[in-house]
Amino acid sequence: MDIRIPLLPLLLLAAPYARAAAPAPDAEKFVADVEKKLDEAGRRSRFASWVQSTHMTYDTEWLSADASRAYAAAAADLARQARRFDGKPLSPAAARKLLFLKLAVEAPAPPDPAEQQELADIKVWLEGAYSKGRYCKTPDSCLSLDDMEDRFRTSRDPADLLGMWQGWRTVSPPMRAKYQRFVELSNKGARELGFKDTADLWRSGYDMTPAEFSAELDRVWLQLKPLYESLHAYVRRRLADTYGADAIGSDGLIPAHLLGNMWGQEWGNVFPLVKPKGTAEGYDLTERLRAKGVDEKGMVKYGEGFFSSLGIAPLPATFWERSMIVKPAGREVVCHASAWDVEDSQDVRIKMCTRVNSDDFVTVHHELGHNYYQRAYAGQPYLFRGSANDGFHEALGDTIALSITPAYLKQVGLRDSDAGADEDTDLLLRMALERVAFQPFGLLVDKWRWGVFSGEIPPGRYNQAWWDLVRHYQGLKPPVARSEADFDPGAKYHIPANTPYARYFLAQVLQFQFYRALCRQTGHTGPLHRCSFYGNKEAGKKLEAMMAMGSSRPWPDALEALTGERAMDATAILEYFAPLKAWLDEQNKGQSVGWKP
């Protein structure tokens, strides 16, 4: 999942809210001019990017690159100009906005026009190379990533899985040299803004130093690690039951191609292989959707209905007129699901190659969470039209997805009865295979990228460093030998698309905090995982109030407004999965848990 907003930083910086001297009036005028200029340049870039993403040709890529270059150059130039106010007395709002300005572009452009154009061209080329990528067994037999992801869901043939796993990774080696140059140019732009490198820039927006932010992520991960290790050990043993002990190995690691996902980042597709023994097949939402004749637009209507049940106004007519909900025939598009704020937080859209299945049912609810958040902060000034921190935007959509419980499905006619207590382990295991299994991957993507931007990971170790991190955090291993002739990080969309990824790790933590708070608002009693706040207008009011703040206040203020808490922590996740953790520990008795990092 992804989000496109008005080319603002989603990161949050703490502004100095008290100054002894009077604010500089020229700074106020400068900020007003900045917002006007960026609004116009950003609108042009977003329209061009939308066309390029939904109709990929040489011409649309050129137009998108040109508009992106113009915006990045303007933002970087204005940010460099803003440095003259460093250390000067500023109003709280102006100080906050100037700090946001420095983070307005995730790959800041250098001052040289030729290098600006080169950077823009590389960005578009990298995303295009990913989106057009195909695995061709023969010239007449090619598979797109969508095709392979569909087969990964159900294939249990290790040779077939290995072929696709290797085949997709033939797309990324040509990216390596361009990515290296991209890093050089982005770092050059970041240094012009006063940062050590792009990694320093990305981590400077969380009201703490970059080093403190990295340490904070590790602190939260250590809270989650015992739960992940219990899940990992159970899944490893059950996969060995299917594929044989020799296929898994004795090193405690899981071969990355056997987890039902191209990147081993979510394991929900192997649930049929690891479900509790002796249980029935369970409820199949995909089959129910298809049996009811739900089409792609109908999937989105269910998502809209959830927000409407909370008392939040429905989506505007333009959403339905301008979104790409179905993959168009006869043209190349970027199918990666994303939510867009194309114009002034009013023209909101989603871009999805929607398929009628349970995965996309959840994805639709997630993406609409972005759109409703975008619309809620429309009344904020341009530079405050973003979420409290970038994890908030992702967490909002996933909070809604957590409320897709059996009770909710029954309320909307997609299930005939509530889930019985005997289904709890199945339900929690399914959820853990998606949410808990994701967390180490959510952490390592940017751990790798921060090392690349800082120079700690040199080009000659790009691939080795990637797999070192996969082993350390995920406990996975490549199914075949890899070398520096490969560029496996580039096989993940967010690397060539230059989309920060730590936000997804944060979102997994924040969403459970949001969810627990909204469930408390409803007066829910009993196990946390059984709560749905669908239809609760008071929960809707709290949600809208938090979203309307945008990025105008520090993120602890926004977190407190919704949850009453001011710090991120994983206790809500541990509470949600407590019954599963006890069950996993029982299943793992006498088994090896963990692996050598």
The residues carrying an active-site annotation are 336-337, 366-367, 370, 394, 494, 504
* 341 phi, psi to nearest 5 deg: -110, 90
Structure token pair of residue 58: 């040489």
319: its two tokens: 């959403």
Q: Phi first, then psi: give them for residue 469, nearest 5 degrees.
A: -70, -40
223 close to 570: Cβ distance less than 8 angstroms? yes
Q: Which helix (H) or strand (E) holds 338?
A: strand 338-343
CA distance to 98, 205, 221, 549, per residue, from 104 (Å)? 10, 11, 28, 19
Spatial contact of 500 and 103, defined as CB atoms under 8 Å apart:
no
Rounded distance between C-alpha atoms, residue 332 and residue 334, angstroms: 7
**Sheet strand arrangement including 347-351:** 2-4, 338-343, 347-351
Q: How far apart are CA 553 and CA 15, in angstroms?
A: 9
Phi, psi of 3 (to 5 degrees): -140, 140
The rounded distance, in Å, linking the Cα atoms of 20 and 396 is: 37
In three-state secondary structure terms, 415 is coil
Give me the residue label for tokens 């991120």. Answer: 568
Q: Tokens 């339900």 identify what position?
A: 427
- Token digits of residue 71: 């915006």
Per DSSP, helices labelled H in 55-157 are 58-82, 92-102, 113-131, 145-154
CA dihedral (486, 491, 494, 497) in degrees, to 10, reads 80
- How many angstroms separate the CA atoms of 81 and 95, rounded? 14
Q: Phi, psi at residue 4, to the nearest 5°?
A: -120, 115
One-letter identity of residue 46: R
